[in-house]
Amino acid sequence: MFSSSSNLQSVIGDFRIDNMMRYSQFVPRLYNLCKSLGFEAGKIMPSRAFCSDKSQGFPIILIAKHFGTFPFNHGRVGGIVATDRHGPHADHGKDLVIIQASHVGYDPDTKTFGTYRRLQTEANESSDSCGKIGDVLNWYLDECAFARENIFLRKSGDQYSVTIDNQLLNEGRAEGLFLNLERIVRQEHGNPQPVRTLSTARTYLAADSLVKILPAECWAGDGETAIGNHLVPELFRFKRDVGGGAEGQRHLEQNLLNPMPWIVTSDAPLLVAAQVNTQAEFDRAFRSIVKERRYRDKRMVFVSCLNIDISPREGQIFPLTKCVPWAAYIQDGKGNHYTLEQAELTAQLMEQGTENPDQIDLEEAIHKMEEEQEIRIEA
């Protein structure tokens, strides 16, 4: 018997989103954690691998404030880590920090994930956030919606049957949603045998496993019932050519392709997708950091997070962004290194204070530069 919720947990594992803190607390705690590891004030070069969305600007400002320098840019759209930038980053500081984060919007009025209010639009419209993740998901959500509306269930006496649109039965397609038929229809000698052939669909006897996992109301009534939201991820998979090559235009889609059935059937697809991408990028980038020659003699903290952007209310300029730490990789520059899992990382951050005596006053720093004597550039 399948359980969609338990299998979703197997996709995102121990990633808990209740372990969150405001960014105004996360950044000074991260800075103080670095100091506790021997990092030298004024010699730390932070880098961020964030999406290009303007909602990520507030975290960047806080990083600049607490680390005393504008962070290096390690990010591609969607929160993908640009691993080919490791070398230049290593050359820009004595001690090094990388903060990677996928992000998802949150509407406090509807208490839902996936949208963000855009104050610069004409009527403060809300749209997908992360927009890149939303763009990737749309095709898969449409494929799933078609399947939900074109698989029909019927009970006649003691006989259970399934009627499936021919498009979903076409295994020769180059891409699309493909059914795991062995879990849906009864197999005769290893092959599904239709009991009725219609103009655009075929009807099969339902597999016993399908009858068991679906609630009784799916089979109730005199006519056919669309499977709808009862199309659980174990019943299908996706096939799509998302291209090769690391960190290309469709790298985010590569990260999401295998767990996509669980993403599109979840209550909050953009949230789950952002969690999955954060996990995938930490695993991938951590391995590239270990191999990077110019990082080997450096103190380094690499941390992956999920940024939750709470839509600004009237009178607010920036989102109330919260950080959900996921994992960290730490090395001391002497050949010793280790990883911190979510609970360990959160505990170590919470042990740090939120006061940072080394933080800079951005307004004062800008004012000081305005007062400096003009330097003329001679060509």
β-bridge mates for residue 202, sequence order: 164, 197
- Cβ atoms 239, 260 nearer than 8 A: no
Q: What is the DSSP string of 332-355?
A: ESSS-EEEE-HHHHHHHHHTS-S-
Rounded CA-CA distance 53/73 in Å is 13
**pLDDT of the residue at 195:** 93
- Cβ atoms 114, 134 nearer than 8 A: yes
Q: What phi and psi values does residue 121 have, to the nearest 5 degrees?
A: -80, 165
Q: What is the pTM of this model?
A: 0.92
Q: Domain ranges for the chain, please list them.
A: 14-128+262-371, 150-231
**pLDDT of the residue at 315:** 78
Q: What is the DSSP string of 101-134?
A: EEEEEEETTTTEESEEE-TTSTT--EEESSHHHH
CA quadruple 51, 55, 57, 61: dihedral positive or negative?
negative
**pLDDT of the residue at 7:** 67
**pLDDT of the residue at 4:** 46
> Token pair of 203, please?
């009807």
The pLDDT mean for the chain works out to 91
Rounded CA-CA distance 31/66 in Å is 7
Query: Angle at the Cα of 10 (from 175 to 275), degrees rounded to 5?
Result: 75
Residue ranges of the chain with per-residue pLDDT less than 70: 1-8, 244-249
Rounded CA-CA distance 272/114 in Å is 10
Cβ atoms within 10 A of the Cβ of 181, count? 20
**pLDDT of the residue at 248:** 62
**pLDDT of the residue at 313:** 80
CA 186 vs. chain centroid, Å, equals: 37
